Amino acid sequence: MALRLVAEFDLWEDVFPWLRVQRAASAGAETPGGGADVLENNYESLRVLNIERNGNVIYTYKDNKGNVFFGLYDCQTRQNEHLYTFEKDLQVVSCSVNSERTLLAASLVQSSKEGRKNELQPGSKCLTLLVEIHPINNVKVLKAVDSYIWVQFLYPHIDSHPLRENHLLLISEEKYIEQFHIQVIQEDGNRVVIKNSGHLPRDRVAEDFVWAQWDMSEQRLYYIDLKKSRSTLKCIQFCADENFNLMFEAPLDIPLSNSVFKLVNFGCDDIQDQDKLSKYPMLCIFTNHTGSLCVCYSPKFDSWEQIMYTVFYFHKGHSKTFTAALGSADSHVTKGITFLNLDYYVAVYLPGHFFHLLNIQHPDLICHSLFLTGNNEVIDMLPHSPLQSLSGSLVLNWCSGKLYRAFLNQSYLLQFLWNTRLDCEKIAVLHCVLSCGQNPQFLEAKIIEWISENVSACHSFDLIQEFIIASSYWSIYPETSSIDKLLPCSSVLTWNAEIPGITLVTEEITLPLMKVHSFKGYWEKLNCNLEYVKYSKPQLHYNNCMVRREWHSLISEEKTGKRRSNVYVRNILDNAIKVISNLEARNLVSEPRLTPLFQEEDNHQRLLLGLMVSELKDHLLRHLQGVEKKKIEQLVLDYISKLLDLICQILETSWRKHNLHPWVLHLNRQASAAEFAVFHIMTRILEATNSLFLPLPPGFHTLHTILGVHCLPLHNLLHYIDNGVLLLTETAVMRLMKDLDNTGKNEKLKFSIIVRLPPVIGQKICRLWDHPMSSNIISRNHVKQLLQNYKKQPQSSMIDKSSFGIEFLPLNYFIATLTNIESSNQALYTFEGHDNVDAKFVEEAALKHTTMLLGL
């Protein structure tokens, strides 16, 4: 299934065997030979009460006398510990233990048996107690009221020494939250007691709220109050000391009533009437380390035909309301929607009906989220009992007593990638897999294998393009999450295609108002996200438009011989050398490449590489605040190296798949089907990179051209060259001139290519081809140079015929003119590198060419 739940704790495997041994030993001591099955008679009372910040699990059960037993499972040592036993028949509402396990807070009510009184505090419905348990000593009554109370110790990040003061939250059904400050002292060695237990200081944290959620990992309290019928979300951050701060307020456009009271993640919800609560809206809040803030909301169901839920992406400034069709009107929904936090994703599912993975880092386009319907077998594999999403990726099934760590299932997603036919699902799964972050080299290899088989399967986006951009983005994203505002994660800018079974409404929302102006950690990132939404429009995503203009300018200067200073060009080429060196360093442990890349200079691609380094570095330096220049420079090198490496990997995979060998570069042989396949994938790579103006590995165009000569008829080859699909590099053309013989077919090919070369390269290439056609081209270039500044001078009408071997007046007159020009300034007009190119050479070439044309 798409979601993989790995059990971290199982009440019946990690606790039950230990309890059974303890009870059997106790019963055996009292009545030898009996008591082995005593726990089995009370197994229904065994349940999880709370999960603390350090991962420890508190649980409870009742013995056959009704005594209430509290135990703790240490997630580090995987050992159980007895905390305390109340020798009364009571029902536990809530329980929490401090980090040193010296104090136990518990809230209890009288037994559910009719007529039974609360013997600890007559006349009260709920009793909240604070117990000294190291060793077991005093019991202090904190509250004795007619409303339910929930308790939760705070867990500050201080591990170096025991705390002298503990802080305990009390959450009342009467809609207020208090914080108790409990000082402890040590007596008689290790005996820990409460100091001044007669008067414990307290603070009122919140009041008049209708909903609250506890974030155990980050020690945050979210709650909603209603003022003038308007729902306002607030957040309290508890610090390492006794201080707490109201961090933000955010209006929520959802209908809530004063009659609603619901708590999330304050331990087990057994006390709250589940049937009653199921009729109220579902609401929960998720954050992650990147500064995201999502409020997930599902109203009560009005129809069995479709389900609606809304996600408020506060870090993006908008909300999305999803409506999912259930497929048939008789598909009755007995349970509510489940929301689970999966770091970069939120999972939304309704057992037996649908499973959605919402991309919370990039929610702008619906195609970046995955929507699976009830027809998929993955839906039925998820637990049907309610799951509670705790901090991070922890998930608790209260009914079974199992604590899971939730992951995206990479193997399932890869298999799904092969089987799906919808473009929207392909792009969504592609991003899901790449964001997993586990063994990226393996995942990229599997995706490339899929791409090589399905390169033309997507119609809504370019598959190679999307993979290169997305994978390069995710490769450096963990290093600084702020990069998501400056680098594109996708090549897809808009998506108008429908998602089957899903309708979507997007609305702008009011941003949270930050109440504290000194930010650290998560709050700094959230505030940065909010500032970006406020002021950064249009988006600051990098693109290569500046590189495109500058590159074309440099190439144009090269053709005209007016290139700017050598220092500037040398710096650009040095940037390219750094990228290639960085790429080689990253691939030291990988197997050597078979493809003949990086084996030539290819100055044009090196210019493009160097320009991209320069422009991207300037872009990040302008907008990436608080990051060292050296780190930014390394980020740029890593990002561009990754781009090149992915292109090489795609080509390498295709090369290995079709079992090509280096002799593919030899031209005097017939093309094979394998070469056709590799040529096709290279053409698709070229299309993908051209539209984004991304650099290619030096040597790519040479290999592409040589494969084109192998695979294409001459007219198709020339069409590809004229339309820029094949770029004629000096290396490729020189190989053509040397390797191909002078048969009629090859002569035609060579001439067709030479006339398409820039003059500077053409002159150099013609010297390699000992052929009348080559001499003709050299002669033309020589004549063009001589005559470009020629001014006609008066000449004698008489020509000395004795100096010419053939009596052909037009040619004789022309050669005489050239001879005159050459003699007037020999040093200036000598053809560079060819001292023997003169008027005589031109005459001989003209005669040979004429003879060849006439077939004489």
Sheet holding 3-10, edge to edge: 3-10, 402-408, 394-397, 388-389
Task: Select from 112, 104, 128 the least CA-distant residue to 56.
Answer: 104
In the predicted structure, residue 768 carries a pLDDT above the cut 90: no
Residues with Cβ within 8 Å of 217's Cβ and at least 6 positions away in sequence, in order, are: 53, 390, 391, 392
Look at the block and give the residue holding tokens 């709250």: 272
212, containing H or E segment: strand 209-215
Number of helices followed by number of strands (H, E) in the chain: 22, 31
Task: Select from 126, 239, 222 the least CA-distant residue to 174.
Answer: 126
User: Cα separation of 289 and 294, whole Å?
Assistant: 13
Q: What is the 3-state secondary structure (H, E, C) of 779-831?
A: HHHHHHHHHCCCCCCCCCCCCCHHHCCCCCHHHHHHHHHHHHHHHHCHHHHCC
What's the mean pLDDT in 566-588?
Answer: 88
Q: Give 185-199 pLDDT, tens digit per residue.
A: 887 767 888 888 788
Partnered with residue 394 across adjacent β-strands are 405
Task: Select from 702, 763, 705 the least CA-distant residue to 731.
Answer: 702
What pLDDT is attached to residue 772?
58
User: Cα separation of 698 and 602, whole Å?
Assistant: 5
pLDDT band at residue 36 using 50, 70 and 90 as cut-offs: very low
What's the mean pLDDT in 542-556?
Answer: 89
User: Cα separation of 338 and 332, whole Å?
Assistant: 16
% of the chain beyond a pLDDT of 90: 45
Q: Give 247-305 pLDDT, tens digit per residue.
A: 999 999 888 877 778 899 998 766 555 555 455 678 999 999 999 999 999 987 766 67
What pLDDT is attached to residue 303?
66
Helix extents (H) in 512-628: 521-535, 545-560, 566-586, 603-623
Sheet holding 513-514, edge to edge: 262-264, 209-215, 220-227, 230-238, 244-252, 513-514
User: Cα separation of 632 and 618, whole Å?
Assistant: 10
In the predicted structure, residue 115 carries a pLDDT above the cut 50: no
In the predicted structure, residue 679 carries a pLDDT above the cut 50: yes
Q: Three-state SS for 245?
A: strand
Partnered with residue 48 across adjacent β-strands are 59
Task: Select from 499, 432, 427, 496 the least CA-distant residue to 465.
Answer: 427
Q: What is the 3-state secondary structure (H, E, C) of 273-288?
A: CHHHHCCCCEEEEEEC
User: Cα separation of 13 and 23, whole Å?
Assistant: 16
Length of the chain as a residue count: 856
What's the mean pLDDT in 341-346?
Answer: 92
The mean of the pLDDT values for the chain is 83
Residues with Cβ within 8 Å of 683's Cβ and at least 6 positions away in sequence, in order, are: 704, 725
User: Cα separation of 621 and 842, whole Å?
Assistant: 58
DSSP string, 495-510: --SPBTTEEEEEEE-P
The answer to whether the bond into 32 is cis (omega within 30° of 0) is no
What's the mean pLDDT in 102-107?
Answer: 94
What tokens were used for 717?
């080859």
In the predicted structure, residue 70 carries a pLDDT above the cut 90: yes
